Amino acid sequence: MRVFSHIILSLSCLLTPFASTADTTVVAVSAATSSDYSVETFNESNAQRTMRPILKIAHRLDDGPWRVKNAAYPVNGQAIRLGVHNPKVTEIRWYLVFADITRIYKNANPPGEPNAYQWTGLDPIAYHRIEIDDVRGKREINPMAHLQALTAHIARWASENGAPSWAADFYHSQTGTFWFQVEGKINGKPVRSLGLDDITERGISVGAFRMSVRQSDDFAGWITSFYNVPGVFGSIIYQSNHYLGADCADVMMTAWSRWKRRPLTKNFNVQMLLSKFPTLVATVISDGTPDQLVQWRTQVKEGDLIAVRYGDTGKKFHHVGALLNDANGNGVLDADDQIIHAGPYPLHVTTLAEGAFDGHVVILRP
């Protein structure tokens, strides 16, 4: 992915957005765009509010039992099916609900702005949805079979509506978080599950069905379940715990809590992580290259946290991510190697060469 990490150096986990989140106009279209799909916005769904939100989406992992819960956590490659099993429901329609993750959201002032870190209030998150047309009328669907086409359309839609080309790459189809909604009729009356119609000040209702897909069962794998989640500077624990929004530290700590199966009960900032986890390496990185030899496997490994302090003054660390891989396979941490991190936009991957971790760096073992 082509990124913008060099700009992050002065602003920690936040950039200047290409479109201000203070705008009241949601960038979206309701008519069909360049593909066969159409995109609805939260405001455009107001006409649907007369529908009763009484439907529940059930899910099934592999050959396990059907469960009616608000969230599912499959591993990439695991079979999952969604279903509506009320026999009275007819004219069924399925939708993928998604957040506009090409925008910057902030609940607090970022570094570089007046009154840095001061709480400013919950920033409204823009949501949209697309109907999965080819499963119309079906009681059960395989959601993974449709995500590649839907995600490609969302990326095109984002580009057509003002997002930079690199921002459209934030949407992932095989791992990450996805929300689904279903509509139908019972005795001729419209009914629905919770979804686009149910947006709160903290994000989409936690009663809307969510599927968070991770790449693997280890810590780095759980981090990938945060793809497609909005980047929110100053996110609150409710948002990160429910995949509604997260900043750099909250992505790492919430993924850690899922991996360890330990409920997260407080927010963490980057500085707090240095006290929680042991330090493996302390170094200075310039142009993506550490000022000392750091070896993969013997010193660091995939999933270790990397925190950076920008500038030569102060002790406060500003940004955090996780080591993803030894990209060139030479066994040495260098500019080619990849980091997975969030901030200011949602979770994404960059190389060290792209500059987001140039500065005073510590590597931590979670």
pLDDT in tens, 157-174: 999 999 998 888 899 999
Percentage above 90 pLDDT, the chain: 80
CA distance 33 to 132: 15
Listing DSSP states for 263-318 in one string gives ---S---HHHHHHHS-EEEEEEEETTEESS--BBTTTB-TT-EEEEE-SSS-S---
What pLDDT is recorded for position 49? 58
Q: How far is CA 112 from the centre of its chain?
A: 24
Res 44 pLDDT > 80: no
Distances 326 to 39, 42, 196, 351 between C-alpha atoms, Å: 39, 42, 40, 10
d(CA 215, CA 32): 32
Q: What's the CA angle centered on 326, arms 280 and 178, to 5 degrees?
A: 95
Q: Is there a contact between 328 and 337 (Cβ–Cβ < 8 Å)?
A: yes
Q: How far is CA 366 from CA 21, 174, 231, in A?
A: 33, 25, 22
The model's confidence at residue 46, banded by pLDDT at 50, 70 and 90, is: low
For residue 12, what pLDDT band results from cuts at 50, 70 and 90?
very low
Which conformational region is residue 137 in: left (phi greater than 0), alpha (psi within -120 to 50 degrees), or beta? left
The DSSP call for residue 331 is S
Task: Render pLDDT for 23-43 as a digit per residue (tens, 0 to 9).
Answer: 222 223 333 333 467 899 887
Q: Give the tens place of pLDDT for each residue, 61-103.
A: 999 999 999 999 999 999 999 999 999 999 999 999 999 999 9
In this structure, what token pair is assigned to residue 180?
Answer: 């689904």
Query: pLDDT per residue over 312-333, tens digit each?
Result: 767 889 999 999 999 999 999 9
> 341 pLDDT exceeds 90?
yes
Q: Would you kindly state where each structural domain of the chain is located, as residue ranges?
A: 5-260, 270-364
Task: Number of helices (H) and strands (E) in the chain: give both, helices first.
Answer: 7, 21
pTM exceeding 0.75: yes
**Separation CA 231–CA 341 (nearest Å):** 10
Q: What is the DSSP letter of 13?
A: T
- Evaluate the CA torsion angle 81, 86, 87, 93 in order and state its sign: negative
Quote the mean pLDDT of the chain: 89
Residue with tokens 């998150």: 125
C-alpha separations of 203 from 180, 190, 242 in Å: 15, 24, 9
14-27 burial, b for 16+ CB within 10 Å, e for fewer?
bbebebebeeeebb
Q: Is the pLDDT of residue 54 over 90?
A: yes
SS3 category, 353: helix
195-234: per-residue pLDDT in tens?
999 999 999 999 999 999 999 999 999 999 999 999 999 9
**Measured between alpha carbons, how far is 195 from 241 in angstroms, rounded to an integer?**
18
d(CA 122, CA 127): 15
In this model, does residue 9 exceed pLDDT 50? no
pLDDT for residue 305 is more than 90? yes
| pLDDT exceeds 80 at position 140 | yes
